[in-house]
Amino acid sequence: MGSANNDKFVSVAIYVYILLGMTHLIVGFLAIEFLELTVTAFIYSFFFLTIGFSLLKFKKRDELENTKMIIILASTIAVLNAYCSLSQLITCNFNNIFLLPVFILFNFGLDLLVFSIFFNYKTKVDEMDNVEKISYFSIVITRGLGLGLLFQILAWLLLSPNVIMISYILLFGSVNMLFGQLFYFKKENRNLQKLGFFFLILGAIFGVYVLMLYPNYTFIVFTILYAIVIPIRFFYLFKFRMQ
């Protein structure tokens, strides 16, 4: 019974994921006078629709349990879009376009919904214990950090090209994406786990440094996410050592 309910929730989440692709198209057209917001919305629409229809295809073939990467990617995009939407709601002046913040808030709620369903599904499929669940949560956030940083390239190239900021974004965006994947697939490799933790610390330190140089709300969010991920990875390393 529990498995059947879980299966139904996943089906709902997949259709909601496709809906997110459509609502982001609406946001993109509503925000047409805001270049960065429009481009960001269209990029997310592409991801949501592409991943959503891929999930639907695997679900219909009953192959979803065997496709680890797409569930992780779907969760990562949902988390990334959630804190991107939150950042937009806090920082953007929508010039009295009433429907724009309404749709962004709506997308934020749907992001949290699909993430919670996919997270629950993945942890049950992999039969994770509580420590592994916490670790998996940090893995999704780490990958989201990586993608989120890389998405910032567009803003810094268009608005204010800056060598220091672009170098930081490229380096730690790529590193976080890499270790976000290795944390999951190489979880038995203790040295790799330590190396990834070290780079997270470096990313946080340099992130605070560039935030002080170029204050912006987006990097405040990234700093908060680092503050969430680093203690979790430290806890995971400690539990790894005790095994």
Domain extents in the chain: 1-127, 129-243
Residues 207-222 have pLDDT tens digits of 999 989 888 777 888 8
Read off the pLDDT band of 1 (50, 70, 90): very low
Q: What number is the average pLDDT over the span 47-52?
A: 95
Q: Residue 204: what pLDDT?
A: 95
Q: Is the whole-model pTM more than 0.75?
A: yes
CA of residue 96 relative to chain centroid, distance: 29
Q: What number is the average pLDDT over the span 75-97?
A: 85
Half-sphere exposure of 183 (CA within 13 A, CB side): 33
Asked if the model's pLDDT at residue 234 lies above 60, the reply is yes
Say how far apart CA 242 and CA 232 lie, in whole Å.
Answer: 15
Half-sphere exposure of 159 (CA within 13 A, CB side): 13
Pick the more confident residue, 8 or 205.
205
Q: Tell me how far CA of residue 85 lies from CA of 13, 37, 57, 176, in angstroms.
A: 19, 10, 28, 21
Quickly list DSSP for 102-169. Answer: HHHHHHHHHHHHHHHHHHHHHHHHTT--HHHHHHHHHHHHHHHHHHHHHHHHHHHHHT---HHHHHHH
Residues 22-34 have pLDDT tens digits of 999 999 999 888 8
Q: Residue 227: what pLDDT?
A: 94
Asked if the model's pLDDT at residue 45 lies above 90, the reply is yes
Residues 6+ apart with CB under 8 A from 183: 135, 138, 139, 142, 193, 196, 233
Q: Residue 53: what pLDDT?
A: 95
Q: Residue 26: what pLDDT?
A: 94
Least confident of 29-33, 89-93, 126-130: 89-93
Share above pLDDT 70 across residues of the chain, in percent, rounded to a whole number: 95
Alpha-helix runs per DSSP H in the chain: 2-30, 35-60, 68-91, 99-125, 130-158, 163-185, 190-213, 217-242
Q: What number is the average pLDDT over the span 29-42?
A: 86
Closest listed residue to residue 232, CA positions, set 111, 125, 133, 121: 133
Half-sphere exposure of 7 (CA within 13 A, CB side): 11
Asked if the model's pLDDT at residue 187 lies above 90, the reply is no
Read off the pLDDT band of 242 (50, 70, 90): low
Pick the more confident residue, 164 or 198.
198
For 67, phi and psi rounded to 5 degrees? -115, 80
Residues 6+ apart with CB under 8 A from 74: 17, 51, 52, 55, 114, 118
Q: Residue 44: what pLDDT?
A: 93
Most confident of 32-36, 150-154, 224-228: 224-228
Q: Residue 35: what pLDDT?
A: 77
Say how far apart CA 85 and CA 74 lie, in whole Å.
Answer: 16
